Structure 1
Amino acid sequence: MILYAFIAFLLLFFLIGVSSYFVSKQTPSDYLVAGKNMSPLFVGLSAVATNNSGFMFIGMIGATYSMGLTSIWLMVGWVLGDYLIQRKTTAKIQQAGQSEEVHSFGGLVTNWVGNQSQNSNPKQLHQLRQLIGIITLIFLTVYSAAQLKAGTKATEALLNWSPEMGIMVSAVLIFIYSLAGGLRASIWTDVAQSIVMIIGMTLMVVFGWMHISDNGGVFNSLHAVSETYMNWFPADSNGLGAILFVIGWLFGGFGVIGQPHIVIRFVTLSPQHSVGHMQLYYYSWFFLFYGLTILAGLLSRVLIPEVADFDAELALPLLADKIMPEIFVGLILAALFAATMSTVDSLILACSASLSRDLTVTPTQSIWLTKFSTFIVLVVAVSFAMSNNQTVFNLVLDAWGMLGSAFAPLVLWLALGRQTSALSAITAIIMGMLIFSLFTYGGYLTNIYALTFGFLAGLATLVLSEYQEGKSKIYVK
């Protein structure tokens, strides 16, 4: 029954994605940016499902299982940071993305820099676009591998599939429906996947709560885990440490505008619709799903006590198998798989855009070469997923942090109407990545998410560059 329910939902996602072929125009523009005529509902649910993926189902639940109530500050900081940065940027992203030249994240940023700068250097603009394309290609491929890996954790635990089997099933389905409808197929399937994800997580919490309530009460059981498990802040942090901990995750939320696969969805929003309408769907789903995720992580610690060598990232599938009827276990498995697929297809298509539009001397106009790019990127991601053993939580945070440090300061700077040269933009991107790497792998201030320092370094570079170039005037459209 678990397998039948799982296959039924996968088939549903597959058919929805493939059906997008019948409205697709089969052009590179439609394949990469869905004609830029999507509705607020579709863009909002697609963007938030893409944002919250295997990281939430596997990584975040695993983190909550291990950390306890402290993980709630990841939610508070992340959602608040996301909201604050989007208030300043998303409408400008939608406007800048309406240019006929914009079919990729690199194209968006480069055109934006060129249009707002008085002294655009075509050669440097091309170098900027290539740099963005290379960074996007490398880190989104790593990100894709992490998501493919997330799906295999559940199928391995509940269906006894090998990791290779789970990765290949996901990759084949994604490739076929992406080939059929491109980003439109990705967005359509994201909407269906977002609905299944929220239903699955709700059922998980309801069944877990009922099970614990019948065996001693929820709150008593949670407090009995350990003396510090239900503490609001890390046990080893003082007042300042707690504040810095939350600020770190606030900057984690800022990183959303540095994620090419999410930003390109804002570009697809029809100019006839408002960003505010789209964000209503986005944040309603985001807040509800994140809260349910933390509850599920807490409940799983009570129902599956920690033992030596236990993989906390398996908490959700093991908990579902323990307390739910088989048909609902199949739904949870499908929801988890849907979460990973909703992100992987987005990541692969963003990489395809970089490969076919940003890294070439002239952007390709061939739909088949664009689709071939999708195939190449997916093959590389699958190969990496099969060989890498790092945890999903760490893989995603590293890729998210690197992209957020590289691109988020520049996108914010442009959205505020400030000018920058292509050379200054390149410098800011490199500086943000270097500082993020220094704090991530150098072991400095480990209680603060390193994106904080990467973001501030990139922004400081742009401020200093403006001062040095004598461009202190703010240009506001």
Structure 2
Amino acid sequence: MVLASFIFFLLLFLAVGLSSARHARKSREDYYLASSQVPPSVVALSAVATNNSGYMFIGVIGYTYAVGLAAVWLMVGWILGDFLASLYVHGRLRHATERTREASFSAVMARWSGGDMPIWRRLAAFMTIVFLGSYAAAQIAAGGKALQGTLGWEPETGAWMVAAMVLSYSIAGGIRASIWTDVAQSLVMLVAMTVLFIAGIQALGGWSATFEAWREIPGFFDLTPPDMLVPGIAGILMFAVGWLFAGLSVIGQPHIMVRFMALDSADSMVRARVWYYTFFTVFYALATGVGMLARLYLPDLANLDPELALPTMADKVLPPVLVGVVLAGIFAATISTADSLVLSCSASLTHDIVPGRLEHPWILKGATALVTSLALVIALGGNQSVFDLVVLSWSTLGVAFGPLLIVYALGRRVSEWGAILMMFAGVAVALYWRHVGLHEMIFEGLPGLVIGVLIGLFISSPMTKRRRDDAEEALAEG
């Protein structure tokens, strides 16, 4: 029954994705942006499904399993930072997409001020392919861990299944297929997490018995994250602020921001924001709760792999049919992010890397197949933690693109070499921060973003109304 339930949902996702091909147009803008005609509720559910990836189902739950209630600061910081970013950047990015008529995240940023930054754009595209490709590999690996924890299959089997699903409907319908399946997947993800949370509480005898069991675990209700260099409230504040910058780094994630670029109108951003943060908060809270429950059901997992907590707990607590739902939810999370990552890499390859921007539909689909294959190879050959790999990719992209977007949102103009300096300075600081181990105290995206923004403010010039009008006129002329 587990396998039958799981396969049912996979076929459902596949059918939804393939059906989008009926609405596809043979253009680059449609393949990568769905012609910027996606309604706000659909954009929001797609963006939140893409954000709540295998990282949430596998990584965050595994982290919460290990540290306990202190993981709540990760949730608070991340969502608050994400929200603050959306207030200042998302709407402006949608306006810039319409103004530039570009199809990739890097290209929109390169032409934001009216000219072009071809060197920066190619460097940005290369960075997108490297780090989003690694990110995609992490999602594919997360699918393998899900099958390993519930069905006892080899993780390579799940990796192949994720890659095959992504490739089939992404080639068929481009980002429209990705967005449509995201909506179906987001609902399954929410149902799966809710079912597991409620069943877990009930099986333990209710809320009172559950809280009592948690209290018996030494330090599990401690609000201070473990291994903090600074103890007490100061350490908590530093931890939360660090993850606030992790949430703020969403503006540097091409696979998420492209959803808002596909929105039907910049005027729809407020409605998209309401849908997005309502779903995001509920889902993240449930994931944190399930991670804490897993510690009660699987106390010995700490000595093995905490990232197997969710699938292993589902197999132990739920009847077979519902185990299939949870497994489908995990796969939905990994697929909904993996397809977005693959398409963003494909856009960078065909639109920004090659000398001439490729337009033929089969070339675009061939690029998608190439990127998917490379991500699968990385997933099959690596054994790094999903949590660690996603955080590294997320922080690097956040500090590479986030500072420039922030400076743009502040109405300032940056030269191409200034933008390159901002990118490399932010990335260098973030990677060094992680290399020397300071990321255990503060998320590496914080110093990287701060350095990048400070450099940008120092070297940039105000974008006057006249210069904005000139930029818009230059873009309108092509």
TM-score class, shorter: over 0.9
Residue 308 of structure 1, CA deviation: 6.1
1:246 is matched with which residue: 230, 240, 251? 240
Say if 2:50 and 2:340, in contact at 8 Å, map to a contact too: yes
Quick check: 406-415 or 252-261, which moved more? 406-415
Q: Which segment drifts farther, 178-187 or 205-214?
A: 205-214
AA at the equivalent of 1:396: V
Question: Is 1:234 paired with 2:225?
Answer: yes
Matches within 5 A, 1:263-282: 263-271=257-265, 273-282=267-276
Aligned equivalent of 1:430? 424
CA-CA distance at 1:238 after TM superposition = 2.5
Aligned equivalents of 2:401, 2:334: Cα separation in 1: 23
Task: Give the CA deviation at 1:474.
Answer: 6.1
CA distance 1:441–1:39, change in 2 (3 Å):
same
Separation (CA, whole Å) in 2 of partners of 1:48 and 1:306: 32
Uncovered stretches (5+) of structure 1, i.e. residues with no partner: none
The correspondence of residues 273-422 of structure 1 with structure 2, limited to 5 A, is 273-306=267-300, 309-422=303-416
For residue 385 of structure 1, what is the amino acid of its counterpart? Answer: A
In structure 1, the partner of 2:184 is: 192
Q: Are residues 307 and 134 of structure 1, via their aligned partners in 2, closer, same or farther at CA, if it must alter by over 3 Å?
A: closer
Displacement, 1:167?
A: 1.0
Q: CA deviation at 1:417?
A: 1.3
Distance in structure 2 (CA, Å) of the matches to 1:130 and 1:308? 43
- For residues 243 and 352 of structure 1, the distance between their equivalents in structure 2, rounded to whole angstroms, comes to 39
1:100 deviates by 5.5
Aligned residue runs from structure 1 range 83-232, under 5 A: 83-99=83-99, 101-112=101-112, 114-115=113-114, 120=115, 125-213=117-205, 217-226=209-218, 228-232=219-223
1:182 and 1:349 in contact (8 A); partners too:
yes
Give the stretch that moved more between structures: 150-159 or 179-188.
Answer: 150-159
For the aligned residues, what is the CA RMSD? 1.5
Supply the distance in 2 between the matched residues of 1:88 and 1:104 (Cα, whole angstroms). Answer: 20
The answer to whether residue 247 in structure 2 is matched with residue 256 in structure 1 is no
Deviations 1:308-327 (A, max 9, x none): 63210011111111110100
Q: Contact 1:190–1:342 (CA<8 Å) still a contact in 2?
A: yes
Contact 1:60-1:293 at 8 Å conserved across structures: yes
Q: Summarize deviations over 1:363-385 as a string: whole Å, max 9, x none.
A: 11211111111011011000000
Fraction of identical pairs, as percent: 39
CA drift at 1:464: 2.0
Q: C-alpha offsets along residues 224-275 of structure 1, whole Å, 9 cap, x if unaligned?
A: 111x110122365232222111110010011000000011111100127510
Please tell me whether the aligned partners of residues 94 and 266 of structure 2 are also in contact (alpha carbons under 8 angstroms): no
Tell me: CA distance 1:232–1:374, structure 2 relative to 1, closer, same or farther (3 Å).
same
Partners of 2:278 and 2:171 lie apart in 1 by 31
Structure 1 pair 201–369 and aligned structure 2 pair: CA distance change class (3 A):
same
1:340-385 deviation per Cα after TM superposition (whole angstroms, max 9, x unaligned): 0000000000000000000011211211111111011011000000
Aligned mates of 2:146, 2:297 — CA distance in 1? 17
Aligned residue for 1:98, secondary structure, equals helix
Give the corresponding residue for 1:34. 34
1:68 aligns with 2:68: yes
Report the count of equivalent residues.
464
* Residue 457 in structure 1 maps to residue 451 in structure 2: yes
**Separation (CA, whole Å) in 1 of partners of 2:65 and 2:360:** 48
1:195 is aligned with what amino acid? L
Gaps of 5+ in 2: 470-478
Q: Secondary structure at the match of 2:299?
A: coil
